Structure 1
């Protein structure tokens, strides 16, 4: 798929799976998903269903153990549910911190 300047393509997950450790249990397996640009998408499910793992994969924080993710924008961010005690961030403060690490000014 070819996109013109300023146009974004969807993020696509094809057969994506994630496990922790080479022989650990699969947290996600066989995920096929298309996330259209500019759309709000909600992930719902019980604790342990893999929602946070899916978000980390889409943001590029973790790599899939199998499958492919394409179309990810060059700049993505993930706000974890909990921060380590040594990092007393709010969600906004964490995003500003990530932006500065990637060379963006606070206004951006």
Structure 2
């Protein structure tokens, strides 16, 4: 019984440790995707094309489909926008793979939710 408990505990600790490291890596990868693809229009969380539509959380809440009505998380709403585009924002769904879209969405959400812009 003690052996089973020790194995279970080891597995749980490993899962927690690796999932935390993977999340941090996703944010770092997301920052790289942002720098390479988004920075020209959204440097510092701003919007060079439509200045009121920044990447700050209040602007995202006002403008992102799904997030403003609460049906999507911030990261999911950002991923949808990145994939499909809207108005002046081009769709990146055909240009970026799904993992890069998820990473950049997680990065932008983290920046916005933690007032890093």
TM-score of the two chains, using structure 2 as the length reference:
0.25
* Bigger proportion of residues as strand: 1
Higher radius of gyration, 1 or 2: 2
